[in-house]
C-alpha cells in the first residue's frame, strides 16, 4: 500500500520582475508519481510572505491582466508601513491577502481536475526574492 500523503518541493526561479508562473505541468507530473491513479486532493502551498497561488487562465492575457490589477490595487509606492527592501515592497506583503498562498484541488483517477482553461499558477510580485519554493502535497 502506498502512503496516503506524499509531498514534493518545487524550486521556482521567478526573476526580478512581477510574474505569473504556470505550475500545472509540474503538478501533473507530481501526481503521475504520487497519486497512482487514486482520487484525492492536491494542496499547493508557497511558504513565502510575498507570493500566492492562483487558479486562472494563462497565455490569453489573463495572467497579464492579473498583474495589472494587482499593480492598480497594490501600487509599489511609499504608502506602505512595511518598508524594508525595494521601494513599495510593503505591497508584496499584502499580496497573500488577495492571492492566498495555497490552493487545494480535486484529483480524480490520479489526474488534476481543472476546468478547460484553468492553470495552477505561482503569483510573485516581489523582485527582491527571485527564488521560490512551492510545496505540493497529495492526500489520497
Contact 85, 13 (CB under 8 A): no
The overall pTM is greater than 0.95:
no
The H or E element that residue 22 is part of is strand 19-22
Residues with Cβ within 8 Å of residue 24, at least 6 apart in sequence: 112, 114, 119, 120, 121
What would the pLDDT profile of 106-116 be if each residue is shown by its tens digit?
999 999 999 99
Q: Which domains does the chain have, with CATH numbers?
A: 5-139 (2.60.120.460)
Q: What is the mean pLDDT of residues 40-44?
A: 98
The three-class DSSP label of residue 95 is helix
Dihedral sign, Cα of residue 20, residue 101, residue 133, residue 130? positive
Amino acid at each position: 500500500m502506498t502512503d496516503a500523503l506524499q509531498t514534493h518541493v518545487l524550486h521556482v526561479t521567478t526573476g526580478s520582475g512581477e510574474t505569473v508562473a504556470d505550475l500545472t505541468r509540474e503538478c501533473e507530473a507530481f501526481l503521475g508519481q504520487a497519486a497512482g491513479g487514486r482520487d484525492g486532493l492536491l494542496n499547493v502551498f508557497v511558504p513565502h510572505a510575498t507570493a500566492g497561488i492562483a487558479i486562472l487562465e494563462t497565455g490569453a492575457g489573463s495572467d497579464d491582466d492579473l498583474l495589472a490589477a494587482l499593480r492598480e490595487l497594490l501600487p509599489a509606492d511609499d504608502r506602505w508601513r512595511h518598508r524594508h527592501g525595494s521601494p513599495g515592497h510593503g505591497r508584496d506583503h499584502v499580496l497573500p491577502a488577495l492571492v492566498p498562498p495555497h490552493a487545494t484541488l480535486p484529483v480524480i483517477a490520479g489526474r488534476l481536475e481543472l476546468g478547460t482553461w484553468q492553470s495552477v499558477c505561482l503569483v510573485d510580485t516581489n523582485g527582491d526574492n527571485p527564488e521560490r519554493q512551492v510545496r505540493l502535497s497529495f492526500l489520497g
